[in-house]
Chains A and B, each alone.
Chain A
């Protein structure tokens, strides 16, 4: 299942070059130091796609909601189409000592339809959810250090770098 298709504008090329699309978007880019911004966000460049996670704060009080924003940006020069297995486009995961304790999608159900996200060159899309400081069983978590990641739910997934937070 091809999950990413990128194309230049001419329809002729669109029709004939199917497999090269994958190659076009599979180009790896090295993360440059200047692109890693503030302490609260995380940036990763793979296949011409920038995956960025922003949290509203670096540290939280117990039970204080964490606002998570995942932003994906097409940094390539071609329009890219990203395919998803369902209406689920993204996900958020919270880890403690590298062990998953909460996943946004765990308590969600999705429409079982193949969907697509199309991003023109330079265009972004953002997705926001809130973590209420609970684990997958719905129990409140303890004070401590946690890592948050944002995921674009393609196959394979495009995963952001973790952002570390502290709950006090």
Chain B
């Protein structure tokens, strides 16, 4: 185990890097628009003798765009489209003419840095996954819900206020509140109130939360409770389910519940475990679950993390700051575990869902854009929120 002293030292270094990154980043949007050579778009007036006009100009109609009746006009070899547009626009039988532009993806680069109190000073994890660049592209939608299947969420926490839109208790605890101090932390990483001038930022920024309490006040639960929680979340509009929990024996009931949610288009994310080995942990091990390993602030695999080719991606999980259910001044703490890594992926899944993507496109965007792939003993690398939100959108 690394000593706290070294951790603190590295943490300061990580912060300095983060600051340097900020100073160098300048926001800009760049659009590349070019013309299709040898083509222009022409809308002729009703009743115009198109054939005659073509004959006079040495042009021809390549296709007609239906409904709006616009002709894609082919020009002679070497004819400048801009000159052709000017000539056609002077013709009284032409309503308008314009070049046929080539549209490229508009590359967005820049950063959106939220004003949360501990963001710049403590949240190294958000810089590790390029969250500020991702938020420049999308901040997520409050209509998209992440179900946190956990020990409950302290919904009146100052930095989770208004975030929890639905709650359900499948644990043996009498309260929906978090008496153990886990679910509130996980919820904050996924989607704490962000850019609200206090506390921490959540990866899911504007995304909403569902508090599905499946673990009791000692932090444990049963397969049946979790299966119930998964089904309830899927039936009540969750687009993403986060499970920072696991057990060493599989359960058909649990796998059936996961498959039910997956079949309803829900993205299911779970912690890979803290075993330091490749031991399977359930539900993370199931095919329809994105299994998440943990990295530290050097972007290395965390010393405790489970690994193996069944683990899909990694996300920060060592020494992660987030919301905590004790009264001030302890309502923000650092915790470590793949429990902390999983909600980074869930928050990102919510940003991606907010872009109108399908379940499969969300998973592909997360898994196909990772950083340092091949450096970790897992299937992919460290999630890159920026590249993921820029990944080709398939609704």
Distance in Å: Cβ of B129 to nearest Cβ of chain A = 19
Q: Of B150, B281, B282, B303, which contacts A111 at CB under 8 A? A: B150
B3 adjacent to A112 (CB under 8 Å): no
**How many angstroms between the C-alpha atoms of A59 and B381 in the bound complex?**
55
Does chain A have a CB within 8 A of B244? yes
Whether A1 contacts B303 in the complex (CB less than 8 A), given A87-B180, A109-B215, A111-B180, comes out as yes
Q: Of A1, A2, A109, A115, which contacts B276 at CB under 8 A? A: A1
Distance in Å: Cβ of B301 to nearest Cβ of chain A = 13
**How many angstroms between the C-alpha atoms of A111 and B342 in the bound complex?**
11
Distance in Å: Cβ of B286 to nearest Cβ of chain A = 13
B246 adjacent to A109 (CB under 8 Å): yes
Question: In residues 263-301 of chain B, which contact A (Cβ within 8 Å)?
Answer: 271-276, 281-282
Question: In the complex, what residues of B have CB within 8 A of residue A114's CB?
Answer: 274, 304, 335-337
Does chain B have a CB within 8 A of A88? yes
Question: In the complex, what residues of B have CB within 8 A of residue A105's CB?
Answer: 247-248
**How many angstroms between the C-alpha atoms of A79 and B222 in the bound complex?**
33
Q: Of A2, A15, A18, A111, which contacts B219 at CB under 8 A? A: A111
- Number of B interface residues in the complex (CB < 8 A): 39
**How many angstroms between the C-alpha atoms of A86 and B342 in the bound complex?**
14
A111 adjacent to B151 (CB under 8 Å): yes
For chain A, give the interface size range: 20 to 34
Specify which of A105, A106, A110 lies most central, judged by the most chain B CB atoms within 10 Å of its CB: A110
A109 adjacent to B221 (CB under 8 Å): yes
**How many angstroms between the C-alpha atoms of A109 and B342 in the bound complex?**
16
Question: In residues 240-274 of chain B, which contact A (Cβ within 8 Å)?
Answer: 244-249, 271-274
Does chain A have a CB within 8 A of B179? no
**How many angstroms between the C-alpha atoms of A114 and B294 in the bound complex?**
12
Q: Of A83, A109, A111, which contacts B222 at CB under 8 A? A: A109
B304 adjacent to A111 (CB under 8 Å): no
Does chain A have a CB within 8 A of B340? yes
Does chain B have a CB within 8 A of A108? yes
Distance in Å: Cβ of B128 to nearest Cβ of chain A = 19
Distance in Å: Cβ of A118 to nearest Cβ of chain B = 14
Specify which of B1, B272, B282, B336 lies most central, judged by the most chain A CB atoms within 10 Å of its CB: B1
A113 adjacent to B304 (CB under 8 Å): no
B5 adjacent to A15 (CB under 8 Å): yes
B337 adjacent to A109 (CB under 8 Å): no
Question: In the complex, what residues of A have CB within 8 A of residue B215's CB?
Answer: 87, 109-111
Does chain A have a CB within 8 A of B182? yes
**How many angstroms between the C-alpha atoms of A112 and B1 in the bound complex?**
18
**How many angstroms between the C-alpha atoms of A59 and B304 in the bound complex?**
41
Distance in Å: Cβ of B214 to nearest Cβ of chain A = 8
**How many angstroms between the C-alpha atoms of A15 and B248 in the bound complex?**
36
Does chain B have a CB within 8 A of A95? no
**How many angstroms between the C-alpha atoms of A150 and B336 in the bound complex?**
26
**How many angstroms between the C-alpha atoms of A1 and B2 in the bound complex?**
8
Does chain A have a CB within 8 A of B220? yes
**How many angstroms between the C-alpha atoms of A1 and B303 in the bound complex?**
7
**How many angstroms between the C-alpha atoms of A93 and B303 in the bound complex?**
29
Distance in Å: Cβ of B389 to nearest Cβ of chain A = 26
Distance in Å: Cβ of A11 to nearest Cβ of chain B = 11
Q: Which residue of B lies closest to A87 (CB)?
A: B219
**How many angstroms between the C-alpha atoms of A15 and B272 in the bound complex?**
32
Whether A85 contacts B3 in the complex (CB less than 8 A), given A109-B221, A110-B220, A110-B245, comes out as no
**How many angstroms between the C-alpha atoms of A11 and B191 in the bound complex?**
36
B220 adjacent to A108 (CB under 8 Å): yes
Does chain B have a CB within 8 A of A107? yes
Q: Which residue of B lies closest to A155 (CB)?
A: B276
Whether A87 contacts B336 in the complex (CB less than 8 A), given A109-B226, A111-B182, A113-B244, comes out as no
**How many angstroms between the C-alpha atoms of A1 and B223 in the bound complex?**
29
**How many angstroms between the C-alpha atoms of A108 and B246 in the bound complex?**
8
Specify which of A85, A86, A106, A108 lies most central, judged by the most chain B CB atoms within 10 Å of its CB: A86
Question: In the complex, what residues of A have CB within 8 A of residue B3's CB?
Answer: 18
**How many angstroms between the C-alpha atoms of A18 and B304 in the bound complex?**
18
B339 adjacent to A85 (CB under 8 Å): no
Question: In residues 80-95 of chain A, which contact B (Cβ within 8 Å)?
Answer: 83, 85-88
Q: Which residue of A lies closest to B6 (CB)?
A: A18
Q: Which residue of B lies closest to A109 (CB)?
A: B247
Q: Of B150, B221, B244, which contacts A108 at CB under 8 A? A: B221
**How many angstroms between the C-alpha atoms of A111 and B216 in the bound complex?**
10
Question: In residues 129-146 of chain B, which contact A (Cβ within 8 Å)?
Answer: none
Question: In the complex, what residues of B have CB within 8 A of residue A109's CB?
Answer: 215, 220-223, 226, 245-247, 282
Other A-B pairs, 20, CB within 8 Å; known A85-B273, A87-B220: A2-B1, A15-B5, A85-B274, A86-B273, A86-B274, A87-B219, A88-B219, A107-B249, A109-B222, A109-B245, A110-B245, A111-B182, A111-B215, A111-B219, A111-B244, A112-B281, A113-B219, A113-B274, A113-B339, A113-B340
Enumerate the 8 nearest inter-chain pairs by beta-carbon distance, A residue then B residue, closest first. A87-B219, A113-B337, A112-B271, A2-B1, A109-B247, A112-B339, A113-B339, A85-B274
**A residues at B contact (CB < 8 Å):** 1-2, 15, 18, 83, 85-88, 105-115
